[in-house]
Each structure stands twice: as structure tokens, then as C-alpha cells.
């Protein structure tokens, strides 16, 4: 995938995460992480490593 295509995918993913964060902001960190991974369609595994840190401040 070329750089412009990668940027477009990154933009879509970032928008999806942003939408989920605003929609599910009241969830605890563990449940929020599950929702985010589900939104990214990787809750069953992914071809690359993914790091996600969810902390309630």
C-alpha cells in the first residue's frame, strides 16, 4: 500500500476510534478497549501486533 493509501486508511481508523471514544466514554477501561478493538475488527486477532492502552483519569 502506498503512502497516500496508508494515510487514507489511517484517517478512517482514527475517525472510527474517535467516534467510539465519544460514544462510549462512560465505559471502564477494559470494556472500552474491547469496544475499540471490535470497531477496528481485530478483537479476534490481527496480522500485525496492536498495542492499546486505555486508562481512566
pLDDT above 90: residue 23:
yes
Cα 12 from Cα 20, distance rounded (Å): 12
Question: 20 vs 43, which has greater pLDDT?
Answer: 20
| Stretch 3-22: mean pLDDT | 78
Domain count for the chain:
1
- The boundaries of the domain holding residue 35 are 1-57
Q: pLDDT band for 6, please (50, 70, 90 cuts).
A: low
pLDDT at 36: 85
pTM to 2 decimal places: 0.64
| Stretch 13-26: mean pLDDT | 87
The alpha-helical segments, DSSP class H, found in 1-57 are 3-23, 29-39
Amino acid at each position: 500500500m502506498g503512502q497516500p493509501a496508508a494515510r487514507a486508511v489511517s484517517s478512517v481508523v482514527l475517525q472510527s476510534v474517535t467516534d467510539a471514544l465519544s460514544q462510549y466514554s462512560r465505559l471502564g477501561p477494559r470494556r472500552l478497549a474491547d469496544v475499540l478493538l471490535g470497531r477496528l475488527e481485530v478483537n479476534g486477532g490481527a496480522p500485525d501486533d496492536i498495542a492499546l492502552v486505555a486508562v481512566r483519569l
